[in-house]
Amino acid sequence: MEDHRIGDLLRELPRERARAGFTPRVLERLDSRGTGRPALSWRPAAVLAAMALAVAIPIGIRYEQHERSEREAERILHELRAEHGRLEQELQEISEPVLYLGGDEDVDLVLDLSRVPEAGQAAPAAYHDDKL
Amino acid sequence: MTEPMVLEPPSDAELMVRVREGDRQAFAELVDRHKDAVVSYLTRLSGDRDRAEDLGQETFLRLFRAAREYGEQGYLRAYLFRIATNLLRSEERRERRWRLLAPFLHPGRAHDEPAAALRLLRREAHGQVTEAVANLPLRYRVPLVLHEIEGWTYQDIAQELGCREGTVKSRVHRGRKQLKEKLEPYWNGGAAWKTIG
C-alpha cells in the first residue's frame, strides 16, 4: 500500500454534518445551565453512587461477619456451660469416696466405701477365730 | 436606479464581540456557521457519530462561557477545534480510568441488490478507515486528521498545538505509518481482514 493512499483514504471519508436541531439543542443546554438549574449530568451522580456502594458494601459485609462470629461464640459458650453442668452433676452423684483397688485393662476394682458396714459391724481382716 | 446593498454577513470576530455582551442571536449564528465542521472533525477523531454530536454541543457551550477570555486572532475555527480536542482528550482519559471502550462507527448493511454492492463495499472501507483512525493515539490522531482531512498546513497545526513544525511532521508521519500497518492486511486481503457490523 503506497503512502499517498493513506491520505487518499482519509480524504475519501464522507464529511459529516450536524444533525437537524443542533443549534436549538445548544441553546437549550445553555439555558438549563444559565438559569441556575444545573443540567444534571449522570456522570457525577453515577460516580457518587458507585463510591457510596464501594463504602457501604464492605461495611455491610463486615457487619454480617461480626454478627455471625458473635452468634458462633454464643453457641460455643452455651455448649461449654452445658458440658460443665453435666460434669458438675456427675461429680455431685459421686457423693461418697471410693477406693481404687487396682485392675487391668478390662476391669477396674473399686471399693465403694458407702457400702462398707460400720466399723463395729465388720470383723477386722486380721481377726482369727480362736476356735479354729 | 441604485443597486441594492448586499450586506456582508458579520465576521466571526464581530459576532464574538456581540457574544461577549451576551447576544444569543450572535451566538446561534456562530453555531450555525461552524457546527458541521466541528461535528465532522469530532467524528473523525472519535469514530463515533453520536459522541461527536454531544461533544460538539459542549464545544460551543465552552465557547460561550469563554467568550470574555477569547482573544481574536483571526481564526475562530481553530479555537473551536482546540476546545473540541481537549474535550475529547478529557473524556478518553476518564474512559480509560473506567475501562470503557469507545464505540466504533458501524456502517449499516445495504440490501442485496447488485447496484448496492459498490455502496456496501465503499461503506465497509470507510468503516475500516474510521475505526483505524479512532484507535490511533490522540497525539498522532489530531495532527493527522487536521492535516489530511481538514487540510491544515504543518505551520498552522504547529501553532495550534503549541509545538514545532518538525514535531507535527513527525507525528503525521507516524500516524500515517500506523494506519498503513492496520489497513494493509485488509486492503491486500491478508489474514487480519475482517468485516464489521
Residue B193 has pLDDT above 50, yes or no: no
Place of cell 473524556: B91
Phi, psi of A103 (to 5 degrees): 160, -175
Instruction: Identify which of B100, B95, B58 has the alpha carbon closest to the alpha carbon of residue B80.
Output: B58
Instruction: Identify which of B62, B84, B79 has the alpha carbon closest to the alpha carbon of residue B13.
Output: B79
Pairing of strands A108-112, A98-103: antiparallel
pLDDT tens digits along B120-133 = 777 777 888 888 99
Chain A nearest-CA residue for B64: A30
Q: CA B116, B118, B120: angle at the middle one, nearest 5?
A: 70
pLDDT tens digits along A58-94 = 667 777 777 787 888 788 888 888 887 887 777 666 6
User: Distance between CA B41 and CA B53 in Å, rounded?
Assistant: 10
Contacts A9 to B, Cβ<8 Å: 125, 129, 179, 183
Residues B32, A9: C-beta atoms closer than 8 Å? no
Contacts A1 to B, Cβ<8 Å: 180, 183-184, 187-188
ipTM: 0.73
Chain B nearest-CA residue for A47: B98
Q: CA B33, B106, B180: angle at the middle one, nearest 5?
A: 90
Domain(s) labelled CATH 1.10.10.10 in chain B stretch across: 101-196
Give the model's confidence band at A27: pLDDT under 50 very low, under 70 low, under 90 confident, else very high.
very high
Residue B34 has pLDDT above 90, yes or no: yes
Chain B nearest-CA residue for A46: B98
Residues B35, A15: C-beta atoms closer than 8 Å? no
Share of chain B above pLDDT 70, in %: 79
Q: Which residue has the higher pLDDT, B36 or A103?
A: B36
Contacts B35 to A, Cβ<8 Å: 18, 22-23
What's the confidence (pLDDT) of residue B68?
A: 83
> Which CATH architecture describes the domain B12-92?
Orthogonal Bundle (1.10)
Residue B101 has pLDDT above 50, yes or no: no
What's the confidence (pLDDT) of residue B2?
A: 65
Q: Which residue has the higher pLDDT, B47 or A65?
A: B47
Instruction: Identify which of B141, B135, B127 has the alpha carbon closest to the alpha carbon of residue B174.
Output: B141
Residue A48 has pLDDT above 60, yes or no: yes
Number of Cβ pairs closer than 8 Å across A and B?
83
Provide mean pLDDT across the span A45-59: 66
Domain(s) labelled CATH 1.10.1740.10 in chain B stretch across: 12-92
Kindly compute the dihedral angle of the four CA atoms of residues B37, B40, B43, B45, in this order, to the nearest 10 degrees. -60
Q: Which residue has the higher pLDDT, B53 or B68?
A: B53
Chain A nearest-CA residue for B145: A10
- Mutate: best of A8, A10, A19, A25, partner B, most B CBs <10 A: A10
Q: Which pTM was predicted?
A: 0.59
- Mutate: best of A19, A30, A51, partner B, most B CBs <10 A: A30
Residue B93 has pLDDT above 90, yes or no: no
CATH topology of domain B101-196: Arc Repressor Mutant, subunit A (1.10.10)
Alpha-carbon distance values, B187 to A18, A22, B47, B60 (Å): 30, 36, 20, 38
